[in-house]
Structure 1
Amino acid sequence: MRRMGSLALFARLMTASLSGQARYPGSALMLTVGQFLGTSIEVIAIWALFHRFGNVQGWKIGEVALFYGLVNCMFAIADALGRGFDVLGTTLLRTGEFDRLLLRPRPLALQLMGHDVRISRLGRLLQGLLVLAFATGQADIAWAPASIAIALFALAGGVALFLGILVLQGTLSFWTIESLEVANMLTYGGVEAAQYPMALYARWFRYVLTFAVPLACVAYYPVLAILGKADPLGAPDWMGLVSPLAGFAFLAAAFCAWRAGVRHYASTGS
């Protein structure tokens, strides 16, 4: 019953957030279009790269487009759900509004996830879906039930991973606000890095993206499984079937750090 009550609360918070934005449809539409057009510049850059040089170390534009589309869908959903953690230090802690959330008898993380669900993230999500459609045609991807299941599993793991990064960013706010820009290296920088095959990067960077922030586990290995392509780095074929679990493990570790941060928190007193 408590779980159902928490889920109902999350649904109500999310509905209230979306309803508030819907009161200004022009603004919501412009922000959504802005997200779509802003991320489209990245698509044009990738197209220009492959148009100029052709294949890049054996990777075709359709295959890289699959990386791009899947990763941007992951981040769009996580960014919509994790907005509360993103603004925790700059808004909620400074104004003392966080104290009000602490008084409510519901999970704190769930309240933050429903705090500010942004309609504008639909722009990035739509763009990611369009790129996935482009990748399907360019790479001749046969979306069999097995490949669809892998893609959905990778999507869920990727959402968990990016949400975990946002949770860590919010956790950092309990100690300092000025260093939050460092966390953007993991969010937006992570999105940029995961949009390309890991085989293109230096060995030390591949280790970081596999074992520290497991972006390769939610994007690179599942995409190889969807494409039916052997890993040039030598990973086994079954890797993409289980690697998205790393995203859920990362989220669990992030929430452990979150609980430590909440215990460290001292009220503003105002």
Structure 2
Amino acid sequence: MRLYYRYLSMQFKSQLQYRTSFWLLTLGQFFIPFSVFAGLYFMFERFGQVQGWNFYEVALCFAVIHLSFSFSECFSRGFDAFSSLVGSGDFDRLLVRPRTTALQVLGSKFEFTRFGRLAQSCLVLALALAHLPIAWTAMKAATLLLMIASGIAVFTGIFMLAATLCFWTIEGLEVANIFTDGGREMAQYPLHIYQKWVVMFFTFVIPFGCVNYLPLLYLLDRAGGHDILYMLSPLAGFLFLLPCILVWQFGVRHYRSTGS
């Protein structure tokens, strides 16, 4: 972790060399997601609710998934931009260093301008929590934090899987965005509004439903007497990360230099 913090410090100082650009990009990242949230607001302004869910309940769902995505995009950007390391041959240098490749790739790139998107998500979270009559307990507070951490694990796992494909394709594949950007857009609403096969896939294959929908039922006292199961469902996000790490290690073992 000491090495990881060194990576963080170096990248942060590097990006602050151009302070005006850094703050303008951060400001842009703050306002861009408002267009998505505005669409959510106007939809509920027109229809009132969506299959029994009101605006602030969905706003909580929106905030959790966007918080998770913002953290992952900021601190896992190295995997998202991994194709450049493979294409340039720079990944070969990482292989000869006495540290795990996953840590080195994780520390190769950070996007601190994503703090703007993070701040916007925090505002939406505060707005939702201020208007929801949630009877807070220590367990519910821990569940909310676990939801965000689990979402980070899921998005990081998807970035890692997409990066692993680069060992064979060299260039990154846009199909991965279906599960990152598309997954974020889909998971910002309660899962049960979608068709059954979508719910099954995004619960048991890519566990976005375990990140926000199922524990959200527990927070809103809709769990129907299965509080413990719904409360612990975010742990599926960390379980999802384990096979992603194994796939990454498989890719590293079968990597052949690009010859650059």
Q: TM-score, normalised by structure 2?
A: 0.96
Q: RMSD of the alignment, in Å?
A: 1.4
Tell me by how many angstroms 1:41 deviates.
0.7
- Stretches of structure 2 lacking an aligned partner (at least 5 in a row): none
Measure the CA separation in 1 of the matches of 2:39 and 2:136: 27
SS of 2:112's equivalent?
coil
Alignment of 1:31-180 (within 5 A): 31-89=25-83, 91-177=84-170, 180=173
String of CA shifts for 1:66-109, please: whole Å, max 9, x gaps: 001111111111111211111111x1111111111111101111
* Corresponding residue number in structure 2 for 1:3: none
Percent sequence identity over matched residues? 44
Indicate which of 207, 222, 227 corresponds to 2:200: 207
| Change in CA separation of 1:135 and 1:122 when aligned onto 2, cut-off 3 Å | same
User: Is 1:8 matched up with 2:20?
Assistant: no
Q: 1:269 — aligned with what?
A: 259
Give the C-alpha shift of residue 177 in structure 1: 4.2
202-211 or 179-188: which moved more?
179-188
Task: State the alpha-carbon separation in 2 of the partners of residues 164 and 183 from structure 1.
Answer: 11
Counterpart CA distance in 2 for 1:142 and 1:108 is 44
**Equivalent pair of 2:163/2:172 in contact (CA under 8 Å):** no
Query: Which segments of 5 or more consecutive residues in structure 1 lack a partner in the other structure?
Result: 1-6
Distance (Å, rounded) in 2 between the aligned partners of 1:115 and 1:80? 12
Residue aligned with 2:122, SS = helix
**Contact 2:203–2:210 (Cα < 8 Å) also in 1:** yes
What do residues 21-53 of structure 1 show as CA deviations (whole Å, max 9, x unaligned)? 011111111111111111111100000000000
**Counterpart amino acid of 1:258?**
W
Q: What is the rounded CA distance, in whole Å, between the counterparts of 1:119 and 1:172 in structure 2?
A: 26
- For residues 113 and 141 of structure 1, the distance between their equivalents in structure 2, rounded to whole angstroms, comes to 37
Amino acid paired to 1:220: Y
Determine helix, strand or coil for the equivalent of 2:180.
Answer: helix
Rounded Cα–Cα distance in structure 2 between residues aligned with 1:126 and 1:97: 33
> 239, 246, 266: which one pairs with 2:236?
246
SS in 2 for 1:116: coil
1:224-248 per-position Cα deviation (integer Å, ceiling 9, x unaligned):
11111236xxx93333211111111
Tell me the TM-score normalised to structure 1 length: 0.92
Tell me whether 108-117 or 174-183 shows the greater mean CA deviation.
174-183
The corresponding residue for 1:255 is 245
